[in-house]
Amino acid sequence: MTLLANLTFVFVAGLVTALATGLGALPFFFVDDVSDRWNVVLWGLASGIMVSASVFGLVFEGLAEAASPLELIPGLVAGVVLVVVAHEIIDGYEVHPKQYAEADYRKLLLILGVLTVHSFPEGVAVGVSFADLGLQGGTASIGVFGVVVPVLAVFMTIAISIHNVPEGVAISIPLRTLGVSEWKMVWWAVFSSLPQPIGAVLAYLFVRVAREFLPVGFGFAAGAMIYLVLTEFVPEALDIGADLPGGGRRELAVGLAVGVLAMVPLLLV
Protein backbone atom coordinates (compact mmCIF):
# COMPACT_ATOMS: atom_id res chain seq x y z
CA MET A 1 0.00 0.00 0.00
CA THR A 2 1.12 3.54 -0.66
CA LEU A 3 1.51 6.00 2.20
CA LEU A 4 -1.60 7.85 1.04
CA ALA A 5 -3.61 4.61 1.07
CA ASN A 6 -2.35 3.83 4.58
CA LEU A 7 -3.25 7.31 5.81
CA THR A 8 -6.73 6.94 4.32
CA PHE A 9 -7.16 3.55 6.04
CA VAL A 10 -6.11 5.01 9.40
CA PHE A 11 -8.36 8.03 8.90
CA VAL A 12 -11.34 5.75 8.24
CA ALA A 13 -10.54 3.76 11.41
CA GLY A 14 -10.47 7.03 13.38
CA LEU A 15 -13.71 8.09 11.73
CA VAL A 16 -15.33 4.82 12.85
CA THR A 17 -14.47 5.66 16.46
CA ALA A 18 -15.97 9.13 16.02
CA LEU A 19 -19.17 7.73 14.49
CA ALA A 20 -19.44 5.35 17.44
CA THR A 21 -20.03 8.37 19.68
CA GLY A 22 -23.32 8.81 17.88
CA LEU A 23 -24.44 5.42 19.21
CA GLY A 24 -24.73 7.07 22.61
CA ALA A 25 -27.69 9.07 21.30
CA LEU A 26 -29.57 6.08 19.90
CA PRO A 27 -31.28 5.05 23.19
CA PHE A 28 -33.07 8.41 23.16
CA PHE A 29 -34.96 7.32 20.03
CA PHE A 30 -36.77 4.83 22.28
CA VAL A 31 -36.62 6.20 25.85
CA ASP A 32 -36.60 9.63 27.45
CA ASP A 33 -33.63 8.97 29.69
CA VAL A 34 -30.83 6.49 30.46
CA SER A 35 -30.77 5.38 34.08
CA ASP A 36 -27.84 6.36 36.29
CA ARG A 37 -27.20 2.68 36.97
CA TRP A 38 -26.66 1.85 33.32
CA ASN A 39 -24.69 5.04 32.81
CA VAL A 40 -22.25 4.05 35.55
CA VAL A 41 -21.92 0.55 34.09
CA LEU A 42 -21.11 2.04 30.68
CA TRP A 43 -18.41 4.30 32.12
CA GLY A 44 -16.99 1.34 34.04
CA LEU A 45 -17.00 -0.75 30.88
CA ALA A 46 -15.19 2.01 28.96
CA SER A 47 -12.65 2.38 31.79
CA GLY A 48 -11.91 -1.34 31.96
CA ILE A 49 -11.51 -1.59 28.21
CA MET A 50 -9.22 1.44 27.99
CA VAL A 51 -6.90 0.40 30.85
CA SER A 52 -6.59 -3.22 29.73
CA ALA A 53 -6.15 -2.24 26.07
CA SER A 54 -3.45 0.21 27.10
CA VAL A 55 -1.60 -2.30 29.29
CA PHE A 56 -2.18 -5.54 27.34
CA GLY A 57 -1.79 -3.84 23.99
CA LEU A 58 0.14 -0.57 23.95
CA VAL A 59 2.51 -1.17 26.87
CA PHE A 60 3.26 -4.79 25.97
CA GLU A 61 3.77 -3.87 22.32
CA GLY A 62 6.05 -1.01 23.34
CA LEU A 63 8.11 -3.37 25.52
CA ALA A 64 8.45 -5.75 22.57
CA GLU A 65 9.72 -2.94 20.34
CA ALA A 66 12.03 -1.35 22.92
CA ALA A 67 15.60 -2.35 23.63
CA SER A 68 14.96 -1.42 27.27
CA PRO A 69 11.75 -0.86 29.27
CA LEU A 70 13.15 2.57 30.13
CA GLU A 71 12.43 3.69 26.56
CA LEU A 72 8.72 3.72 27.37
CA ILE A 73 9.04 6.06 30.34
CA PRO A 74 9.43 9.34 28.38
CA GLY A 75 6.35 8.45 26.34
CA LEU A 76 4.30 7.55 29.41
CA VAL A 77 5.24 10.84 31.08
CA ALA A 78 4.52 12.83 27.91
CA GLY A 79 1.09 11.19 27.62
CA VAL A 80 0.21 12.20 31.17
CA VAL A 81 1.49 15.74 30.55
CA LEU A 82 -0.70 16.00 27.44
CA VAL A 83 -3.83 15.15 29.43
CA VAL A 84 -2.87 17.55 32.24
CA VAL A 85 -2.36 20.38 29.75
CA ALA A 86 -5.62 19.46 28.02
CA HIS A 87 -7.42 19.70 31.36
CA GLU A 88 -5.96 23.16 31.93
CA ILE A 89 -7.09 24.35 28.50
CA ILE A 90 -10.57 22.86 28.86
CA ASP A 91 -10.97 24.34 32.34
CA GLY A 92 -10.27 27.73 30.79
CA TYR A 93 -13.16 27.27 28.39
CA GLU A 94 -15.66 24.66 29.52
CA VAL A 95 -17.62 23.20 26.61
CA HIS A 96 -21.03 22.01 27.71
CA PRO A 97 -23.34 20.21 25.28
CA LYS A 98 -26.04 22.79 25.98
CA GLN A 99 -23.89 25.30 24.09
CA TYR A 100 -24.08 23.21 20.90
CA ALA A 101 -27.72 23.87 20.16
CA GLU A 102 -27.30 27.65 20.09
CA ALA A 103 -23.79 27.85 18.63
CA ASP A 104 -23.09 29.94 15.56
CA TYR A 105 -20.30 29.21 13.06
CA ARG A 106 -17.54 31.03 14.96
CA LYS A 107 -18.54 29.43 18.23
CA LEU A 108 -18.57 26.00 16.60
CA LEU A 109 -14.99 26.52 15.48
CA LEU A 110 -13.99 27.40 19.04
CA ILE A 111 -15.85 24.39 20.42
CA LEU A 112 -14.19 22.14 17.83
CA GLY A 113 -10.80 23.49 18.89
CA VAL A 114 -11.45 22.60 22.52
CA LEU A 115 -12.80 19.20 21.52
CA THR A 116 -9.62 18.61 19.52
CA VAL A 117 -7.61 18.96 22.71
CA HIS A 118 -10.03 16.65 24.52
CA SER A 119 -10.22 13.94 21.83
CA PHE A 120 -6.63 13.97 20.58
CA PRO A 121 -5.27 11.29 22.99
CA GLU A 122 -7.86 8.77 21.79
CA GLY A 123 -6.92 9.47 18.18
CA VAL A 124 -3.23 9.08 19.03
CA ALA A 125 -3.90 5.65 20.55
CA VAL A 126 -5.60 4.52 17.33
CA GLY A 127 -2.88 5.94 15.08
CA VAL A 128 0.03 4.43 17.02
CA SER A 129 -1.62 1.01 17.04
CA PHE A 130 -1.58 1.03 13.21
CA ALA A 131 2.23 1.45 13.08
CA ASP A 132 2.73 -1.86 11.20
CA LEU A 133 -0.21 -1.39 8.84
CA GLY A 134 0.47 -3.22 5.58
CA LEU A 135 3.78 -4.67 6.78
CA GLN A 136 4.33 -8.42 6.54
CA GLY A 137 6.25 -10.19 9.29
CA GLY A 138 5.74 -7.46 11.87
CA THR A 139 3.37 -7.65 14.82
CA ALA A 140 0.47 -10.11 14.92
CA SER A 141 -1.87 -9.16 12.10
CA ILE A 142 -5.00 -10.16 10.21
CA GLY A 143 -6.35 -9.43 6.75
CA VAL A 144 -9.02 -6.74 6.52
CA PHE A 145 -10.33 -6.01 3.01
CA GLY A 146 -7.09 -7.44 1.66
CA VAL A 147 -4.92 -5.22 3.89
CA VAL A 148 -2.52 -6.52 6.54
CA VAL A 149 -3.81 -4.88 9.74
CA PRO A 150 -2.15 -5.27 13.18
CA VAL A 151 -4.41 -7.11 15.61
CA LEU A 152 -3.60 -4.41 18.15
CA ALA A 153 -5.09 -1.81 15.78
CA VAL A 154 -8.33 -3.78 15.53
CA PHE A 155 -8.61 -4.07 19.31
CA MET A 156 -7.73 -0.42 19.85
CA THR A 157 -10.26 0.81 17.28
CA ILE A 158 -12.96 -1.30 18.93
CA ALA A 159 -11.85 -0.15 22.41
CA ILE A 160 -11.99 3.56 21.54
CA SER A 161 -15.33 3.06 19.79
CA ILE A 162 -16.84 1.43 22.89
CA HIS A 163 -15.33 4.17 25.06
CA ASN A 164 -17.08 6.78 22.91
CA VAL A 165 -20.57 5.37 23.51
CA PRO A 166 -20.96 6.65 27.10
CA GLU A 167 -19.42 9.94 25.91
CA GLY A 168 -22.27 10.13 23.42
CA VAL A 169 -24.80 9.42 26.19
CA ALA A 170 -23.28 12.17 28.36
CA ILE A 171 -23.55 14.66 25.50
CA SER A 172 -27.11 13.66 24.60
CA ILE A 173 -28.66 13.93 28.07
CA PRO A 174 -28.54 17.76 28.33
CA LEU A 175 -29.48 18.10 24.67
CA ARG A 176 -32.59 16.03 25.39
CA THR A 177 -33.59 18.50 28.14
CA LEU A 178 -33.38 21.30 25.54
CA GLY A 179 -35.76 19.46 23.23
CA VAL A 180 -33.11 18.86 20.56
CA SER A 181 -34.22 16.25 18.01
CA GLU A 182 -32.80 12.73 18.14
CA TRP A 183 -30.91 13.00 14.84
CA LYS A 184 -29.36 16.30 15.91
CA MET A 185 -28.22 14.63 19.12
CA VAL A 186 -26.53 11.95 17.01
CA TRP A 187 -24.82 14.67 14.96
CA TRP A 188 -23.56 16.60 17.99
CA ALA A 189 -22.30 13.41 19.61
CA VAL A 190 -20.32 12.53 16.48
CA PHE A 191 -19.15 16.14 16.14
CA SER A 192 -17.59 15.95 19.61
CA SER A 193 -15.24 13.17 18.43
CA LEU A 194 -14.43 14.41 14.91
CA PRO A 195 -10.85 15.37 15.92
CA GLN A 196 -10.04 11.69 16.56
CA PRO A 197 -9.43 10.71 12.90
CA ILE A 198 -7.06 13.67 12.56
CA GLY A 199 -5.15 12.67 15.69
CA ALA A 200 -4.98 9.10 14.41
CA VAL A 201 -3.47 10.15 11.08
CA LEU A 202 -0.88 12.46 12.67
CA ALA A 203 0.20 9.82 15.20
CA TYR A 204 0.43 7.11 12.54
CA LEU A 205 2.46 9.36 10.26
CA PHE A 206 4.88 10.18 13.09
CA VAL A 207 5.57 6.59 14.21
CA ARG A 208 5.75 5.34 10.61
CA VAL A 209 8.30 7.95 9.55
CA ALA A 210 10.27 7.94 12.82
CA ARG A 211 10.27 4.21 13.60
CA GLU A 212 12.96 4.62 16.25
CA PHE A 213 10.42 6.52 18.36
CA LEU A 214 7.81 3.75 18.17
CA PRO A 215 8.30 2.60 21.81
CA VAL A 216 7.90 6.21 22.93
CA GLY A 217 4.74 6.46 20.83
CA PHE A 218 3.26 3.37 22.44
CA GLY A 219 4.14 4.72 25.88
CA PHE A 220 2.67 8.12 25.01
CA ALA A 221 -0.68 6.65 23.99
CA ALA A 222 -0.80 4.31 27.00
CA GLY A 223 0.09 7.07 29.47
CA ALA A 224 -2.60 9.36 28.11
CA MET A 225 -5.26 6.64 28.10
CA ILE A 226 -4.58 5.36 31.62
CA TYR A 227 -4.43 8.88 33.06
CA LEU A 228 -7.69 9.78 31.30
CA VAL A 229 -9.40 6.80 32.92
CA LEU A 230 -8.12 7.72 36.39
CA THR A 231 -8.89 11.44 36.16
CA GLU A 232 -12.02 11.54 33.96
CA PHE A 233 -13.83 8.25 33.42
CA VAL A 234 -13.84 6.85 36.97
CA PRO A 235 -14.66 10.22 38.63
CA GLU A 236 -17.45 10.74 36.04
CA ALA A 237 -18.91 7.33 36.85
CA LEU A 238 -18.79 7.93 40.62
CA ASP A 239 -20.35 11.38 40.18
CA ILE A 240 -23.24 9.92 38.16
CA GLY A 241 -23.70 7.09 40.65
CA ALA A 242 -23.55 9.26 43.77
CA ASP A 243 -27.25 8.72 44.52
CA LEU A 244 -27.19 4.97 43.89
CA PRO A 245 -26.84 2.45 46.75
CA GLY A 246 -23.14 2.26 47.61
CA GLY A 247 -22.43 5.33 45.51
CA GLY A 248 -22.51 3.31 42.28
CA ARG A 249 -19.29 1.47 43.16
CA ARG A 250 -20.85 -1.95 42.53
CA GLU A 251 -22.02 -0.95 39.06
CA LEU A 252 -18.64 0.59 38.33
CA ALA A 253 -16.85 -2.58 39.45
CA VAL A 254 -19.07 -4.74 37.23
CA GLY A 255 -18.38 -2.53 34.23
CA LEU A 256 -14.64 -2.52 34.94
CA ALA A 257 -14.52 -6.31 35.24
CA VAL A 258 -16.42 -6.86 31.98
CA GLY A 259 -14.21 -4.32 30.19
CA VAL A 260 -10.99 -5.96 31.36
CA LEU A 261 -12.22 -9.45 30.43
CA ALA A 262 -13.19 -8.19 26.96
CA MET A 263 -9.58 -7.23 26.28
CA VAL A 264 -7.94 -10.40 27.68
CA PRO A 265 -7.67 -11.90 24.14
CA LEU A 266 -5.00 -9.23 23.49
CA LEU A 267 -2.71 -11.29 25.73
CA LEU A 268 -3.04 -14.24 23.39
CA VAL A 269 -1.91 -12.53 20.17
CA neighbor of 153 nearest in space, from 168, 138, 173:
138
Total domain count for the chain? 1
- Let me know the angle formed at the C-alpha of 80 by 120 and 196, rounded to the nearest 5 degrees: 10
Query: 154 is in which domain, residue-wise?
Result: 3-26+35-268
Could you read off the pLDDT of 9-36 as tens digits, one per residue? 999 999 999 999 999 889 888 887 788 8
Alpha-carbon distance of 210 to 32, in angstroms, equals: 49
Write the burial class of residue 64 (CB in 10 Å: 0-12 exposed, 13-18 middle, 19+ buried).
exposed
What pLDDT is stored for residue 147 in this prediction? 75
Q: pTM of the full predicted structure?
A: 0.80
pLDDT mean for each 10 residues of the chain (269 residues): 84 93 89 84 89 87 83 89 77 59 54 63 87 66 73 87 85 77 86 87 86 84 88 88 90 92 74
Write the burial class of residue 112 (CB in 10 Å: 0-12 exposed, 13-18 middle, 19+ buried).
middle
What pLDDT is stored for residue 11 in this prediction? 94
